[in-house]
């Protein structure tokens, strides 16, 4: 079973219909993948609801249906339950790169999973620091 931690930018891409590959993977019947997300992502989705509606060209009802479908596939993790060691390690990796992604990296460490993100700056910065636990569609690690 693969454990995949989904960054909020992936959820945005699915909602904005920018990538059918992302939707196909998230909504596949593949039982060999468990998708996890930080609970804070729910806040981010609703914080940007108006922009998402505008750019997705979905009605509010359609947006809510897609959100519901996405959220059903996720296993949400309370950030405060992540072990201090995982948070410290993630903070060291994320500082000077993008500290706001610390929780996602910490959850990846905590669950020994793979981080699914579209943030190339984050990926490159983490790779320079030796972190290489990414879920990448094109590399065949799906």
Q: Is residue 92 part of a domain?
A: yes
Q: Is residue 139 part of a domain?
A: no
Q: Is residue 140 part of a domain?
A: no
What is the per-residue pLDDT for 102? 94
DSSP per-residue letters across 13-63:
HHHTT--HHHHHHHTS--TTEEEEEETHHHHHHHHTHHHHHHHHT--HHHH
Is-contact 22 14, C-beta < 8 A? yes
Provide the sign of the torsion angle of the four alpha carbons 70, 71, 77, 80, taken in this order.
positive
30 falls in which pLDDT band (50, 70, 90)?
Answer: low
State percent of the chain over pLDDT 90: 45
What is the per-residue pLDDT for 57? 82
CATH code assigned at 46? 3.40.50.1010
Residues constituting the chain: 142
Q: Is residue 111 part of a domain?
A: yes
Residue 131 reports pLDDT greater than 80: yes
Task: Give pTM, 2 decimals.
Answer: 0.88
Q: Is residue 142 part of a domain?
A: no
Show the tokens assigned to 25.
């993977």
| Number of domain units in the chain | 1
Q: Is residue 133 part of a domain?
A: no
Secondary element (H or E) of residue 67 = helix 60-73
Q: Is residue 71 part of a domain?
A: yes
138 falls in which pLDDT band (50, 70, 90)?
Answer: low
* pLDDT tens digits for range 48-92: 988 988 888 888 898 888 889 888 889 998 888 999 999 999 999
Domain that holds residue 44: 2-128
Q: Is residue 119 part of a domain?
A: yes
Is-contact 43 81, C-beta < 8 A? no
């Amino acid at each position: 079973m693969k454990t995949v931690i989904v960054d909020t930018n992936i959820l945005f891409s699915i909602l904005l219909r920018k990538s059918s590959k992302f939707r196909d993977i998230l909504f596949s019947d593949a039982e060999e993948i468990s998708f996890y997300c930080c609970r804070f992502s729910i806040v981010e989705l609703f914080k940007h609801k108006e922009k998402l509606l505008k750019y997705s060209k979905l009605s509010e009802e359609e947006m809510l249906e897609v959100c519901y479908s996405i959220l059903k596939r996720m296993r949400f993790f309370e950030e405060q339950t992540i072990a201090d060691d995982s948070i410290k390690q993630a903070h060291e990796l994320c500082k000077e790169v993008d500290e706001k992604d610390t929780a996602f990296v910490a959850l990846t460490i905590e669950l020994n999973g793979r981080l699914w993100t579209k943030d190339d700056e984050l990926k490159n910065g983490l790779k320079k620091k030796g972190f290489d636990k990414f879920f990448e569609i094109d590399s065949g690690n799906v």
